[in-house]
Amino acid sequence: LTYSFVEALAAGHPGFIVRMLGGFIFLLGMFLMAYNTWRTVSAAKPAEYEAAAQIA
């Protein structure tokens, strides 16, 4: 073999760093979506009660 396993692993290290960074950004986006959903659902409840109070 031309390269040993350790040399091949060391050569791929920058790719692992980029992959980890991409995974972190993906995970951050999932948390942001969950937070946005939570805020949207929790903000909708007072408007329903307010609309019901105006009708009555």
In a domain, 12, yes or no: no
- What pTM does this model have? 0.62
Number of domains in the chain: 1
Band of residue 3 on the pLDDT scale cut at 50, 70, 90: confident
In a domain, 5, yes or no: no
pLDDT, position 17: 95
pLDDT, position 48: 59
The domain in which residue 34 lies consists of 20-56
Q: Which pLDDT tens digit goes with each residue over 6-49?
A: 998 899 999 999 999 999 999 999 999 999 999 998 886 665 56
Kindly state the DSSP code that residue 1 receives in the 8-state scheme: -
b vs e for 20-56, b when ≥16 Cβ sit within 10 Å of the residue's Cβ?
Answer: eeeeeeeeeeeeeeeeeeeeeeeeeeeeeeeeeeeee
In a domain, 3, yes or no: no
pLDDT, position 30: 99
